[in-house]
Amino acid sequence: MEEYINKIIQGNCIEILKELPDNTFDMIFADPPYYLQLPKGKRLKRADGSEIIPVDNEWDQFKDYDDYDSFTESWLKECQRVLKPTGTIWVIGMYHNIFRVGKIMQDLGLWFLNDVIWVKIGALPNLNCRRLTNNHETLIWAVKNKNCKGYTFNYQLLKEMNNGKQMKDTDWVFGLCKGNERLRDENGIKSHPTQKPLKLIQQVFLTSTKKGDLILDPFMGSGTSAVVAKALGRKWVGIEKDNKYIEVANERIKKQKIC
Amino acid sequence: MEEYINKIIQGNCIEILKELPDNTFDMIFADPPYYLQLPKGKRLKRADGSEIIPVDNEWDQFKDYDDYDSFTESWLKECQRVLKPTGTIWVIGMYHNIFRVGKIMQDLGLWFLNDVIWVKIGALPNLNCRRLTNNHETLIWAVKNKNCKGYTFNYQLLKEMNNGKQMKDTDWVFGLCKGNERLRDENGIKSHPTQKPLKLIQQVFLTSTKKGDLILDPFMGSGTSAVVAKALGRKWVGIEKDNKYIEVANERIKKQKIC
DNA sequence: GCAAGGCATGAATCTACAT
DNA sequence: GATGTAGATTCATGCCTTG
């Protein structure tokens, strides 16, 4: 394992997970593809005529629900295996995928601690006025199985962070990743379409890890979890398929001074 | 159908659903058992020694996940069948069950419009300080299938109810059903352990129905949805297995003057 | 009549440790 | 491992009593 610490492993998530030893990680944070199933070729426009750029990347394409489910079960099963009995796993998603992901997690025997609502500040309003505005994502927090005890939950710290009151599963209000935090290439194009905000990931790590803990991110993307892990004194292992994202992430981590 | 309008049908939910004709209802609101799986015989206590009374009713007991899933699939399948192509279905749940329910809904071809977070005011704090406080329930809002158009969404009304801003899926903040609203027997015992607040159900109905619409509630319980339907000028059909709950509900509806 | 304080209570997947 | 017992801990709301 030592050779992987604080590094991004390039390759297929499931294949790489299979090479990692049992009961290794104190915490896993997974931000998998959401399988958005957007209508192809159509793009919503804002009132000023500008186009909304949707997430239509190749990595979010699946043949059908079965295809998505079998992918999901495979990586979750390996994550469960490499998770310590005292560890916890977080998975983030939206209504497109999180219900499928959640049922598969339960079927694998993962035992839920909470489902946390990230209330997104600055989310896109609903442009066609035919639905409620999507304003949240859901994080599932779970232990390896029903009988697992001794996981880390920094109750007191979170209470302090929440003005002296117990942190609730609905108190997670954070802005989207925008402005200086958002990574862009030389042409101003977003380096990653679904870059998560540092503050959200930080709160996840502060909730469920101690200094020196080893964290796994099987869908590393632009490297947000590595940046937060480094800043908080946690060790980390990342997995990412796309070399372009790995470059972005490595450069970001190298440059990093403060979270 | 006429003989069922504005009445509670007593009996097994699935069997009764099977007798109802296709494409009948403008809206379905379902508050099924959550399958809480609480530890048996143990009861949490408050600092003052008083006991927390959990939901351990017979109707929330299932053999295992498979048992719960097959029950869930059966009633959802019938609900999908009796739902108009222009209708919508709401299902409420918590992290114990909502992910399973959601995946089964998607597998049946129901197409999600939103997942709505009911932020609960006055929820039980977390007493052992080993998890985040459970402070929400999740409602899934869906149409009969992916191609359905023309469902009712009272966008403008909800915007007005939300101080002129688009109603978001996270703006649903309502107190629990307590105080005078909570139905109790002559001994002060709750008539139903999970009575839902009128305001929540009212917002659901105002979101997705018009005056005169026909609403189905397959798990009627203490009759909250009937009370709201009546007050808002909607027609309704309820299904409930337990005669005790039916008595409570009928008495409540009879007494009703204003919502 | 009004303000302040007491008190009950809410869909809860409890935890740690000993035997 | 499975089972049993003791332990430590909480917040918002609304009704009711008291002053």
In this structure, of A17-26, A225-234, B40-49, B81-90, the range with the lowest mean pLDDT score is B40-49
Give A-chain residues touching B170 at CB under 8 angstroms.
117, 119, 135-136
Q: Which nucleotide is nearest to A164 (CA to C1')?
A: D11
Residue with tokens 């440059």: A255
User: Max Cα separation, chain B?
Assistant: 55
Q: Which nucleotide is nearest to B47 (CA to C1')?
A: D9
Give B-chain residues touching A166 at CB under 8 angstroms.
125-126, 129, 132-133
Q: Hey, what are A55's tokens? A: 């997430």
Yes or no: say if A105 and A69 are a contact pair by the CB < 8 Å rule: no
Quote the domain boundaries for residue B170: 7-255
Residue B72 belongs to a domain: yes
pLDDT of residue B259: 44
CA of B224 to C1' of C2 (A): 35
Compute the distance between CA of residue B116 and CA of residue B129 in angstroms, rounded to an integer.
27
Compute the distance between CA of residue B136 and CA of residue B121 in angstroms, rounded to an integer.
9
Closest CA to B112 of B85, B88, B84, B82: B88
Contact: A135, B170; criterion CB under 8 Å = yes
Compute the distance between CA of residue A248 and CA of residue B58 in angstroms, rounded to an integer.
55
Residue B219 belongs to a domain: yes
Contact: B107, A136; criterion CB under 8 Å = no
pLDDT of residue A54: 83
Shortest distance between the Cα of A20 and any Cα of chain B, in A, equals 29
Compute the distance between CA of residue B206 and CA of residue B119 in angstroms, rounded to an integer.
18
B154 contact A CB<8A: no
Please report, as a single letter, which amino acid is at residue B63: K
Compute the distance between CA of residue A168 and CA of residue B133 in angstroms, rounded to an integer.
4
Closest CA to A78 of A51, A55, A105, A118: A105
Contact: B169, A129; criterion CB under 8 Å = no
CA distances from B213 to A50, B28, B33, B252 (A): 39, 11, 26, 22
Q: Which nucleotide is nearest to A112 (CA to C1')?
A: C13
Yes or no: say if A176 and A197 are a contact pair by the CB < 8 Å rule: yes
B114 contact A CB<8A: yes
Dihedral over alpha carbons A71, A72, A73, A74 (to 10 degrees): 50
pLDDT exceeds 70 at position B258? no
Compute the distance between CA of residue B167 and CA of residue B65 in angstroms, rounded to an integer.
35
Residue B47 belongs to a domain: yes
Q: What is the pLDDT of residues B107-147, one digit of tens each?
A: 999 999 999 999 999 999 999 999 999 999 999 999 999 99
Burial class (CB in 10 A: 0-12, 13-18, 19+), B203: buried
Residue A189 belongs to a domain: yes
CA distances from A56 to A41, A43, A140, A187, B112 (A): 10, 11, 24, 19, 19
CA of B177 to C1' of C6 (A): 22
Residue B2 belongs to a domain: no
pLDDT exceeds 70 at position B104? yes
Contact: A103, B102; criterion CB under 8 Å = yes
Q: Which of B38, B69, B70, B95 to mutate to test the interface with A (most CBs of A within 10 A)?
A: B95
Contact: B96, A112; criterion CB under 8 Å = yes
Q: Which nucleotide is nearest to A148 (CA to C1')?
A: C15
* Number of CB atoms found within 10 A of residue B94's CB: 17
Closest CA to B227 of B250, B193, B203: B250
Contact: A125, B158; criterion CB under 8 Å = no
Render A53-84 in DSSP notation, one character per residue.
Answer: -----GGG--SSHHHHHHHHHHHHHHHHHHEE
- For residue B156, give the chain A residue with the closest CA: A129
Yes or no: say if A77 and A20 are a contact pair by the CB < 8 Å rule: no
Q: Tell which strand D nucleotides have any atom below 7 Å from a protein Cβ.
A: 2, 5-15
Closest CA to B219 of B124, B95, B89: B89
Q: What is the pLDDT of residues A191-241, one digit of tens each?
A: 998 899 999 999 999 999 999 999 999 999 999 999 999 999 999 999 999
* Number of CB atoms found within 10 A of residue B187's CB: 5
Q: Which of B38, B86, B99 to mutate to test the interface with A (most CBs of A within 10 A)?
A: B99
A70 contact B CB<8A: no
Residue B33 belongs to a domain: yes
- For residue B143, give the chain A residue with the closest CA: A131
Positive or negative CA dihedral for B65, B70, B74, B77?
Answer: positive
A170 contact B CB<8A: yes
Contact: B133, A95; criterion CB under 8 Å = no
B70 contact A CB<8A: no
Compute the distance between CA of residue B142 and CA of residue B50 in angstroms, rounded to an integer.
41
Q: What is the pLDDT of residues B52-69, one digit of tens each?
A: 888 989 999 999 999 999
13-52 in chain A: CB under 8 A from chain B: none
What total number of domains does chain B contain?
Answer: 1
Residue A152 belongs to a domain: yes
Supply φ then ψ for residue A217, to 5 degrees. Answer: -125, 105
- For residue B122, give the chain A residue with the closest CA: A168
pLDDT of residue A48: 87
pTM tops 0.75, yes or no: yes
Q: What is the mean pLDDT of chain A?
A: 94
B132 contact A CB<8A: yes
B88 contact A CB<8A: no
Positive or negative CA dihedral for B81, B223, B5, B114?
Answer: negative
Residue A103 belongs to a domain: yes
Compute the distance between CA of residue B78 and CA of residue B91 in angstroms, rounded to an integer.
14
Where residue B216 sits, what CATH number does that domain have? 3.40.50.150
pLDDT of residue A96: 98
Q: What is the pLDDT of residues A85-134, one digit of tens each?
A: 999 999 999 999 999 999 999 999 999 999 999 999 999 999 999 999 99
Q: What is the pLDDT of residues A65-80, one digit of tens each?
A: 999 999 999 999 999 9
Contact: B133, A166; criterion CB under 8 Å = yes
Residue A181 pLDDT level (bands cut at 50, 70, 90): very high
Choose the closest CB to B103 out of A100, A135, A136. A100
Q: Which of B138, B170, B171 to mutate to test the interface with A (most CBs of A within 10 A)?
A: B170
Average pLDDT of the residues in A130-153? 95
Give B-chain residues touching A132 at CB under 8 angstroms.
113-114, 116, 141, 158, 166-169, 207
Task: Give how far the C-alpha of residue B19 lies from the chain's centroid of Cα atoms, to the nearest Å.
Answer: 21
